[in-house]
Amino acid sequence: MAERWDRERVLALAPDAPSQRAAQSLASGRGAWAADGAAAGAAGPGVLWGECRGGAATPYRTVIDLSGPAYRCSCPSRKFPCKHVLALLLRWADGAVQHDDAAGAPGWAATWLAARATRAGRPPPGQAGKPKDPEAAARRAAVREARVASGLAELDRWLGDQARQGLAASQQAGYGHWDDIAARMIDAQAPGLAERLRALAAVPHSGAGWGGRLLEEYALLHLLAVACQRQAGLPPPLRETVRSRVGFALRQADVLAAGPPVRDQWRVLARRDLEQDRIRVRRTWLRGGQTGRDALVLSFAPAGQGLDDSLAVGAEADADLVFYPGAVPLRAVVLARYGPADGGADGGADGGPPAGGTIAGLLACYAAALAADPWLDSWPAVLDVTPARAPVPAVRDPDGDAAPLHPAAGDCWPLFALSGGRPVTVAGEWTPRGLWPLTAWDEGGRAVRL
């Protein structure tokens, strides 16, 4: 069974404050739960289930897979997780749910758990990614390659037009200026290009130096278009990077089947949640204790639904990771975990700060990565620094080197409050516009999400 969570970690899953209050009331209410239980999971930390009396004649049935965590409730609530899920987790956190491996989950809960395990299961060795009709799949792939090639040619012409016309009118141009060409890339089945193009609309309004930044983005798009057109002559790792930037996605099953697993004691350094086209994205940065290797684990969820919360910031996880191929392999997927994560900012004791580096060391690593992948726009950073707000928000290391904070994160008051003018260990993302701080460690060695 998984290590028991604390109430703070459970309440952090709530979609809003009213859900927190309703869940706390429901968890403490006498007679609200007709039945509940817990047991070890078939291939994970454990499962919880419960039947909660409500307004309907039939109790609401709630089941939770702690390995995700993932939840299901029969109530009509549109909130995710609902108050019944949160209340059951609170009861478990308080020790009110009885653990019984022998009895196991009731049939209705076991059915959902089995279906979830089937959906998450890996195909047999040698069968991963094999299409049912190889000839039809080859025809579809050829059609897509032709569409992408046509879209790249059109993008290159558009970029040439922008360079000839100049950038002065970009500040007056509306979002449609970039949306039109982005929509054309969607038609060409190149969603990666469309995403980069839509992001350009904010550059002319990003402050001093915007012209240089916009020209850099145009140059990177041109380089990507040319690289994709000439991908046959590229080294395989770089070819994989180019195709992924354009929008050729690899299926997770194919990655798991092809890549060798890397087992390590992975330290969860930081995470950042983003909204992209009504999809929530969680970026979780890890670092291996033995290998020293950095990894980026992505999870996705529709708006209003919960994201994977199994990797708590500051925790350590003994796990196998499989890395996506590329010139700078950072993105990874968790293949297997050996026991629950240890500690973290979202619950449990923390093992103290990781070893921090210098700003010069960070920039040297980032420069080497850019040489291999010119489109890399973020890089993991762990620094021993002192934050300062003047003359501009920045961090300074013991060698006297300074690095600016990202303009959107410059007013990161939790970082300055935690530091109080003293050195701290900070983890975050290094970007072309500065450091985006995401985690800092307090005097007691506990991870604090910023």
Bin 46: left if φ > 0, else alpha if -120 < ψ < 50, else beta: left
Q: Please state, in angstroms and rounded to a whole number, the distance separating the CA atoms of residues 26 and 39.
A: 22
At residue 326, the pLDDT reads 94
Residue 280, beta-bridge partner list = 275, 301
Burial profile 102-121: b = 16 or more Cβ within 10 angstroms, e = fewer:
eebbeeebbebbeebeeeee
Burial profile 302-331: b = 16 or more Cβ within 10 angstroms, e = fewer:
eeeebbbbbbbbbbbbbbbbbbbbbbbbbb
Query: Sign of the C-alpha dihedral, residues 225, 229, 233, 237?
Result: positive
> pLDDT by residue for the chain (450 residues), tens digit each?
556 778 888 887 887 888 888 899 888 876 788 888 888 755 455 889 999 887 667 888 999 888 777 888 888 887 888 899 999 999 888 888 887 766 677 888 888 887 777 665 544 434 445 556 788 888 999 999 999 999 999 999 999 999 999 888 888 888 888 889 999 999 999 999 999 999 898 899 888 899 999 999 999 999 999 999 999 999 999 999 999 999 998 888 888 888 889 999 999 999 999 887 678 889 999 999 999 999 999 988 876 667 778 888 999 999 999 999 999 999 999 988 886 556 554 443 456 899 999 999 999 999 999 999 999 999 999 999 999 988 889 999 999 999 999 998 878 889 999 999 999 999 999 999 999 999 999 888 899 998
Q: Is 338 exposed, middle or buried (0-12, 13-18, 19+ CB in 10 A)?
A: exposed
Regarding beta strands 447-449 and 60-65, do their DSSP bridges make them parallel or antiparallel, or are they unpaired?
unpaired
- Yes or no: say if 144 and 189 are a contact pair by the CB < 8 Å rule: yes
| pTM (two decimals) | 0.72
At residue 236, the pLDDT reads 93
At residue 11, the pLDDT reads 84
Backbone angles phi, psi at 286, to 5 degrees: -125, 160
Q: Which of 423, 424, 428 is nearest to 450 (CA)?
A: 428
Q: Please state, in angstroms and rounded to a whole number, the distance separating the CA atoms of residues 145 and 41.
A: 43
Q: Which of 224, 179, 222 is nearest to 199 (CA)?
A: 179
Q: Which of 390, 394, 400, 266 is nearest to 323 (CA)?
A: 266
Per the structure block, which two tokens stand in for 366? 């980032």
